[in-house]
Structure formats: C-alpha cells, structure tokens
Amino acid sequence: MENLFLLLDGFQVVFTLQNVLVTLLGAVLGLIVGAMPGVGSLAGVALLLPLTYRFNPTTAIIMLGALYYSNMYGGSFSAILLNIPGDTPAVMTALDGYPMAMKRKRPGQALFTSNISSFVGGLIGMLILTFMGPALADLGLKFGPAEMTALLLVAMTSIGWLVGKNPTKGVVLTLVGILIATMGMDTLTGSPRYNFGSMYLLGGIPFTPFVIGSVGFAQVLKLVSEKNNKVEAHLEEKLTIKGSLLTRHELRRLLPPALRSGFLGTFVGVLPGAGATTGSFLGYALQKSFKSEEELGTGAIEGVAACEAANNAAAAGSFAPLLALGIPGSGTGAVLLGGLMMWGLNPGPLLFSTQPDFCWGLISSLFLANLLTLMIALLIIPFLIKILTVPIKLMIPAITVICIVGAYSTSNSMYGVLVMFVSGVLGFVLDRNGYSTAPMLLSFVLAPLLESNMRKAFIISRGSIGIFFDKPISLVLMLILFAIILTPIVRGVVTKIQGSKG
C-alpha cells in the first residue's frame, strides 16, 4: 500500500507542464524513430540522448524513459505493414501481424491489436515494477562488495553470452568495453591511467559520442547495403482510425494472451540479457500452448497480442533491476543507465531511499508515457505509411548529420565527433563480423562499479578469492555465473559427441 502512496507522490513530480510536455515529446519522437525500419530502439535512444541536455535531471530522465518505452511500440508498425521489424522484439510480431494486414486485409486492426496489447503488457509491467522495485532495492541493501561483484559479473557475462550468435565474441567485446572504461582516471585513487599522454583521454572516453558512434553511426554504414530495398506497403485501402477499431469479440480475444504475456514478459525483463526480444519470443511460445481462434502464423489476433504485450512488459520490467540494483537488462537499458549516470544519479539499492522523488517520478512517468504513447500510436495510424516509407537513401545523410551534431553537442568540441566517428567505424566492422556491440556498451557503463566493488572486496579479504564463496548470496551468484559460462560449452561438447556417434 505504501508503494501506491509513493507512486501518487511520483505523479505530483510528473504533473508539471514541462514534465508532461517532455513525456509527450519523448513519446512522439520514440514512436517515430522506433517505427522507422532499420533504426531500432538502441540507435533511436542513443541518437536522441543529446536532446535531454536542456533539462534538469528529473525531467531529462523522464524524457529518456518515455523515449525508451515508446520505441517499443514503434518497432511493431513496420513489422505489421511492411514485414520489416523495426527492432528485434518485433520479429515475432511480424509472424502474425503481417499476414493479418495483408492476407486478412485488416492492417488497421493489426495495428490496433498491437497498440492495445502493448498498453496492457506495459501496464502490468509497471504495476509489478511499482511493488517489486523497492523490494529488490531492499534485497540489494544486503549486498556487500563481494555480492555486488558477483551480481555484476553475472549480468555482464549473461548479456555477453546471450546477445549475438557467438558467446565468445560477446565476451570479447564485454572485456573490450571494460578496458575502454578504465581509460582516464582510476575510480578509487583519482590518479591518471591509460591516457597515453593525451589531455583528452584524461577525462576518459565520453559516453554519449561513444554510444552514438558505435550504435547510430555504425547503423548508417550498415544501412547503405539496404538503401536500394524498396520500402512499399501494398495496402488496398487508406488507413483510418475508425476503420481500425476492433469489435468487442476481438477485444475479448486479445485480452487473455495480453494478460498472460504481460506477467511473463515482466519477469523475463527483470533477468539480465533476456530483455524484450526473449520476452516476445516466450510470449508467442506460451500462446502456442493455448487455444487461438485462428491458427497462429496466419494472422491471428492472439499471436500479435501475445508478443507485443510481452515485449512491452519486459521493457517495463527491466526498470526494476536498473533502478534497484543499477543493472540494465539490455543494450538500450545500458544507454539509459549511462544517461542516469551522466546526470549524477547512481542507480542502486540506495536510490529508492536517497532519491525517492526521482525514482517514483520516473516510475509514474512511465505510466503517463504508456497512456500518451497509446493515444499517439492510435492517432498516427492514418499517417503511418508516410513515416514508414521515408526512403533509406534520405535517412543515411540525415542520420549522419544527426550523429555528428549530436556528438559535438555533448562536449562542444570536435573531440566528441572524432570519438563518434572512430567508434562508429569500429562498431560497423565488428558488427559485420558477428560481434554485437550491445555487450560492449553494457560493460562500458558497468565497469567502474565492477572495479570499485571488486577492489573493495579484495581489500576486505586481503587478497583472498574466498570472499566470493563465503556468503550464501555471493555463493549462489557465483554458481549461476559458472552455470552461464559452462552451459554453452557443455552443450557444444555434447552436440559434437552426438554428431560423431550419429
């Protein structure tokens, strides 16, 4: 009950004209960027990060939260109308969304289903976040340096291990991200380290240009290969809001899968590395074990509802470990965490007690963003085709310019632009060779926390590694860590043995 009162206090923080307008702006921009095929939520949030510089920290983070959250809505639009998922969670939406739009000739209803399910899933995720966030923070308060080190190692390894096709490559970039983060100053003693005599490197690698480059500019270089793909929607009728409405029966069909996936997605979102994509996949898989009026994969409302509710619930659920433990569940979460840190906020167990206004303000702003995004998402249905069919040929120079100006604006110096350029080129080369950059961003953000906790743990134990196995929490976390590392290795060996026998 106390949490509900705190949430109401949070609404008092949010309901200023500036914060409501900023939430609206974040929702509109996030929706548009998320809808554009080929941009995706990670690049979208990274490119829009500099826009928050104008505000005070609370307003800035409210805008970032709205941006992140509305991006999840937008990804499904191109999946439904063009069969091109705007981001990876929307891959599952395309399975039923596109056939519903084209074969069943009900594109408006597919969009409506997606929007309502996203709203329901997100709402469930936010309600659980309201109760689980502080509880998770209470648990986090019991964590000493050894437990935090173990938890951070689990988070980093699981994301490095799970994102991308090759776990080894994920871990390589996780480690590279950690080393890049150690450049500049030693976090504990403040002495210069790995700056190679450069005055610029003394301040470390700046976060925003690094993210804009390795995600946004790398995406531009990638888009060149797709620039000749014609983006066309083969719709026979114009999309209208009235023509997109669902019947009462269809709403009844939508609700059970949306509710089930909402709960499932939230808990998936809490796990590091799982995130919205896994949530969407599991939501769809869960729906397969239930009855659907139309067969899944042929344009069933239940299919669209299940994955959309799950991915939005996962996006909301991922805020719980982000705020309560300072651990993001995905690359986009890492950008958000970087944004929080940029504003001098240190997410972790103490945040709920030291910055309650901020925490509850952010959580309540997610409720507001969910509602506003739903309204805007329904209102822009008639204009979606125009937004989605912006030629990639024009998006390439446009995003290039935004990357350069955005990187410059973070430091008002060309150093930021150079960091963006170099990290963009490297990010593209790495991505092209199967190295996903998301683990690198995550470890870059978390490395200072990992280092300070690990060093403190070793100071307490006087160099003994036993500190990580002495207490139950850290012991369990270390066992999880070993399981994460060993499972793919054992699975690979078993597959090889079975292959040689077969």
Q: Which positions lie near other proteins, rule CB under 8 A?
A: 50-51, 53-54, 166, 168-169, 171-172, 175-176, 178-179, 182, 186, 188-189, 191, 193-194, 217, 220-222, 224-225, 393-394, 396-398, 400-405, 408-409, 412, 414, 417-418, 421, 424-425, 428-430, 432-435, 450-451, 454-455, 458-459, 462-463
- The rounded distance, in Å, linking the Cα atoms of 102 and 435 is 35
29 closest CA partner among 447, 353, 297, 380: 380
164 closest CA partner among 488, 498, 499: 488
- Closer to other proteins at the Cβ: 189 or 247? 189
Min dist CB 470 to other proteins, Å, is 17
- Closer to other proteins at the Cβ: 11 or 458? 458
Min dist CB 58 to other proteins, Å, is 18
- Closer to other proteins at the Cβ: 3 or 452? 452
Min dist CB 186 to other proteins, Å, is 4
- Closer to other proteins at the Cβ: 8 or 224? 224
Min dist CB 482 to other proteins, Å, is 15
Min dist CB 48 to other proteins, Å, is 10
In whole angstroms, what separates CA 427 from the centre of its chain?
18
Min dist CB 400 to other proteins, Å, is 5
- Closer to other proteins at the Cβ: 200 or 458? 458
In whole angstroms, what separates CA 15 from the centre of its chain?
25
Min dist CB 365 to other proteins, Å, is 21
Strands 192-193 and 184-185: antiparallel
Min dist CB 141 to other proteins, Å, is 25
Min dist CB 106 to other proteins, Å, is 34
23 closest CA partner among 269, 323, 367, 266: 367
Q: Are 463 and 469 in contact (CB under 8 A)?
A: no
Place of tokens 């043995």: 497
- The rounded distance, in Å, linking the Cα atoms of 395 and 209 is 20
- Closer to other proteins at the Cβ: 251 or 418? 418
Give the Å distances, CA to CA, from 239 to 64, 234, 242. 30, 12, 9
- The rounded distance, in Å, linking the Cα atoms of 246 and 325 is 40
- Closer to other proteins at the Cβ: 133 or 448? 448
- Closer to other proteins at the Cβ: 221 or 285? 221
3-state secondary structure of 434: coil
- Closer to other proteins at the Cβ: 156 or 351? 156
Radius of gyration of the chain (CA): 22
Give the Å distances, CA to CA, from 353 to 137, 333, 392. 9, 22, 46
3-state secondary structure of 206: coil
308 closest CA partner among 131, 31, 127, 76: 76
